[in-house]
Structure 1
Amino acid sequence: MIFICDKSKLQDSISIVQKAITGRSTMPILEGVYINATSNTLTLIGSDKDVSIETKLEADIIEKGSIVVDAKIFGEIIRKLPNDEVKIETLDNSVIQITCQRSVFNLIYMSPDDFPSLPNINENMIFSVPQNQLKNMIKGTSFAIAQDEIRPILQGILFEVKDNYLNLVALDGYRLALRRELIDSQNTINAVIPGKTLNEVAKILEDSEDLVNITFTTNHILFNLGQTKIISRLLEGEFIQYNSILPQEYKMCVTVKKQPLQNSIERASLMAKEGNSNLIKLDIQDDSMVITSNSQLGKVREEISVNMQGEGIQIAFNSKYLLDVLKNMEEDEVILELTSSVSPCVIKNKINENSKYLVVPVRLVK
Structure 2
Amino acid sequence: MIFICEKHKLLEGISIAQKAITGKSTMQILEGIYINATKSGLTLIGSDMDISIQTTVKADVIENGEIVIDAKIFGEIIRKFPNSNIKIETTEDGLIQITCERSVFNIVYMNANEYPSIPDIDENLKIEVNESILRNMIKGTSFAIAQDETRPILQGILFKVKNKNLNLVSLDGYRLAIRSEFLDTDIDIEVVIPGRTLVEVSKILEDNDKSVYITFTNNHILFNLENTKIISRLLDGKFVNYNSLLPQEHKLLVTINRQELQNGIERASLMAKDGNTNLIKLDVQDDALIITSNSQLGKVREEVAMKLQGDEIQIAFNSRYLLDVLKNMEDDEIVMEMTSGISPCVIKEKDSESSKYLVLPVRLMR
Interval of TM-score (by shorter of Structure 1 and Structure 2) = over 0.9
**Residue 348 of structure 1 aligns to a residue in which SS?**
strand
- In 1: Cα distance, 2:174 partner to 2:156 partner: 15
- In 1: Cα distance, 2:323 partner to 2:281 partner: 14
The answer to whether the 8 A contact 1:94-1:110 is kept is no
Aligned AA for 2:27? M
Instruction: Tell me the CA shift for residue 84 of structure 1.
Output: 1.2
- In 2: Cα distance, 1:74 partner to 1:108 partner: 11
Q: Deviations over 1:316-355 (max 9, x none)?
A: 1001000000001101110000011111000000001100
Instruction: Tell me the CA shift for residue 41 of structure 1.
Output: 1.2
| Structure 2 equivalent of residue 279 of structure 1 | 279
Aligned AA for 1:193? I
1:48-127 matches, cutoff 5 A: 48-127=48-127
Return structure 1 stretches of 4+ with deviation > 6 angstroms.
none
**Residue 143 of structure 1 aligns to a residue in which SS?**
helix
- In 1: Cα distance, 2:347 partner to 2:240 partner: 20
TM-score after normalising by structure 2: 0.99
- In 2: Cα distance, 1:93 partner to 1:169 partner: 53
The answer to whether the 8 A contact 1:145-1:154 is kept is yes
| Structure 2 equivalent of residue 169 of structure 1 | 169
**Residue 9 of structure 1 aligns to a residue in which SS?**
helix
Greater alpha carbon shift after TM alignment, 29-38 vs 56-65: 56-65
| Structure 2 equivalent of residue 192 of structure 1 | 192
Q: Which segments of 5 or more consecutive residues in structure 2 lack a partner in the other structure? A: none
Q: Deviations over 1:35-54 (max 9, x none)?
A: 00112311000000000000
1:232-271 matches, cutoff 5 A: 232-271=232-271
| Structure 1 equivalent of residue 336 of structure 2 | 336
Instruction: Tell me the CA shift for residue 17 of structure 1.
Output: 0.2
- Say yes or no: does 1:308 pair with 2:308: yes
Instruction: Tell me the CA shift for residue 93 of structure 1.
Output: 3.4
- In 1: Cα distance, 2:113 partner to 2:259 partner: 55
Instruction: Tell me the CA shift for residue 152 of structure 1.
Output: 0.7
Instruction: Tell me the CA shift for residue 266 of structure 1.
Output: 0.7
Q: Which segments of 5 or more consecutive residues in structure 1 lack a partner in the other structure? A: none
1:141-160 matches, cutoff 5 A: 141-160=141-160
- In 2: Cα distance, 1:45 partner to 1:187 partner: 30
Equivalent pairs counted in the alignment come to 366
Greater alpha carbon shift after TM alignment, 182-191 vs 320-329: 182-191
**Residue 306 of structure 1 aligns to a residue in which SS?**
strand
Instruction: Tell me the CA shift for residue 143 of structure 1.
Output: 0.4
The answer to whether the 8 A contact 1:126-1:216 is kept is yes
**Residue 329 of structure 2 aligns to a residue in which SS?**
coil
**Residue 331 of structure 1 aligns to a residue in which SS?**
coil
Instruction: Tell me the CA shift for residue 123 of structure 1.
Output: 0.4
Aligned AA for 2:271? M
Aligned AA for 1:348? K
- In 2: Cα distance, 1:93 partner to 1:18 partner: 27
Instruction: Tell me the CA shift for residue 92 of structure 1.
Output: 2.1
- In 2: Cα distance, 1:263 partner to 1:226 partner: 39
**Residue 42 of structure 1 aligns to a residue in which SS?**
strand
Instruction: Tell me the CA shift for residue 115 of structure 1.
Output: 0.3
**Residue 207 of structure 1 aligns to a residue in which SS?**
coil
**Residue 122 of structure 2 aligns to a residue in which SS?**
coil
Aligned AA for 1:256? I
Aligned AA for 2:95? V
- Say yes or no: does 1:41 pair with 2:41: yes
Aligned AA for 2:12? D
Instruction: Tell me the CA shift for residue 94 of structure 1.
Output: 2.4
Q: Percent identity?
A: 67
Instruction: Tell me the CA shift for residue 226 of structure 1.
Output: 1.8
TM-score after normalising by structure 1: 0.99
